[in-house]
Structure 1
Amino acid sequence: MLGTVAVAFVAGLLSGAAARPLVFTRAVPAGEAPREHCPGCNAALFSSKRRGRLLLGRCGTCRRAFPPARGVPELLSGAAFASIAATGAGGFTAAAHYWLAACGVALVLIDVAVKRLPDVLTLPASAGTLLLLAGAWFTGEPGSLGRALAAAAALGAGYLVLAFAGMGMGDVKLAPAAGALLGWHSWSAVITGTFTGFLLGAVAAVALVVTGRAHRKQQVAFGPFLLAGALSVSLLA
């Protein structure tokens, strides 16, 4: 078990490193194009000579460091992957968790930075989770694909209704992934995972207001809590 967790942790570190360029280029306000040049020297970031530097979080020309902070996406992914491995999950069901965690780390960092969840990550997160759960169903792993699809639709519709009250459309597009992962287990998991996400979000919002880091009407990134609720409850299930 320890060996499996260690391998998963290393795989998570690599996944986080691979996500770093995506976080940097996509962590821009809504309506702005993804970053393609260094903010320091305006050098093109995606030339063949500079891709490696971008993966390391530093411009290959002026050596300027890029956000996110060094080690953050790597350690987040490593911890998430190790946690999944520690449950003993295997097969396509585990792969669905790893996939959502890999997409989720990048989404969390972008959401925290600019309060948005870009389609380039939310749509593959939902589609990939559903595809891997279909593989789990095809190979006979315990769970219900029909319930996963129904839960994905239900949670997506529920978040769409909440969008009229201020919920972001990125959360709406990510909700089917969370619903599918929870619905694979049971409807009680869907309810518990959804409630957990809102509870975590409420606690964090109150903490930010109390500490003076946000005011009561300020928007709080909800993507991290949506993902945390879904992944944690699904793994426990």
Structure 2
Amino acid sequence: MSALSVALTTAIGALVGAAARPGIFARSVPAPAAARSSCPHCGGAILDRRLPVLPASGRCPACAEAIGPRPLLPEAAAALAFAAIAVGGASGWFAAAQYWVAACGVALALIDLAVQRLPDVLTLPACGGTLLLLTAAVLAGEPGSLGRAAAAAAALTAVFLLMAFAGAMGLGDVKLAPAIGALLGWSSWTVLFWGAAAGFVVGAVSEVVRMAAGGVRRTHVSFGPYMVIGALAVSVATS
């Protein structure tokens, strides 16, 4: 892909991140709350249902308190993810599936980091959209297997569900697993294995680095971001 195409794709990613900002704010609430539209500090209205726009400054217009996500964080994360996918060279509907997982994944990752939660309103569309785009890839004659993608989605979900029952993972991670499994399984079972394993490796390394820097050992780790990073990294590297 040309440098111009990568630059344009990166810009689109930044716009996607900006569009995700209101949703990230709204859904960054502890369970069982569904969403919020007001400042958690002063109670002032933040999101208008007719035009859900969040201040890019990351601060409440009324009290000037930080309300998250941090300024430019969603934009930068989505831009980086989109740039990496563009450089990876995938094309067609499979590339669209990668971009879709990246777009949903950035929002989910930032919500998970904020409140350790992966809301259904994003995990379910992530799964449905990925399978829909891979179905389009089959109809377009792109190399890959929709049957294997579906089987991989089911297999990874089953593994994560067992881990959730053992207390090693949250149910939100289980609901994100079908999208991750389908994207990786489209290419091969080997890609599924390495993509799933990469999430655990990235998570372990990140936690070791964090504790080495003086962080306190945590009893619960937000695994969603690591799932997305690991899956996309392996999918892009093998596409």
What TM bracket, shorter-length normalisation?
over 0.9
Equivalences for 1:92-171 in 2 at 5 Å? Answer: 92-166=93-167, 167-171=169-173
Q: Counterpart of 2:174 in structure 1: which amino acid? A: V
2:201 is aligned to: 199
Q: Counterpart of 1:85 in structure 2: which amino acid? A: A
1:171 Cα deviation after fit: 0.4
1:227 is aligned to: 228
* 2:74 maps to 1:78: no
Q: Quickly say closer, same or farther: Cα 1:150–1:49, change in 2 above 3 A.
A: closer
**TM-score, with length taken from structure 1:** 0.93
What is the count of residue pairs matched by the alignment? 236
Q: Which residue among 169, 185, 188 is the counterpart of 2:187?
A: 185
Q: Is the CA contact 2:160–2:173 (under 8 Å) kept in the aligned structure 1?
A: yes
| CA root-mean-square deviation | 1.8
**TM-score, with length taken from structure 2:** 0.92
Q: Which moved more, 1:58-67 or 1:220-229?
A: 58-67
Distance 1:125 1:50 in 2: 24
Gaps of 5+ in 2: none
Q: Is the CA contact 2:22–2:53 (under 8 Å) kept in the aligned structure 1?
A: no
Q: Which moved more, 1:179-188 or 1:195-204?
A: 195-204
Aligned-pair identity (%) = 54
Gaps of 5+ in 1: none
Q: Quickly say closer, same or farther: Cα 1:77–1:169, change in 2 above 3 A.
A: same
Q: Which moved more, 1:25-34 or 1:87-96?
A: 25-34
1:6 is aligned to: 7
* 2:18 maps to 1:17: yes
Distance 1:146 1:233 in 2: 20
Distance 2:237 2:135 in 1: 21
Distance 2:3 2:63 in 1: 42
1:54 Cα deviation after fit: 4.3
Distance 2:213 2:158 in 1: 34
Write out per-residue CA displacement over residues 171-210 of structure 1, whole angstroms, 9 at most, x where no aligned residue. 0000111110111000000111111111111122222333
Q: Counterpart of 1:185 in structure 2: which amino acid? A: S
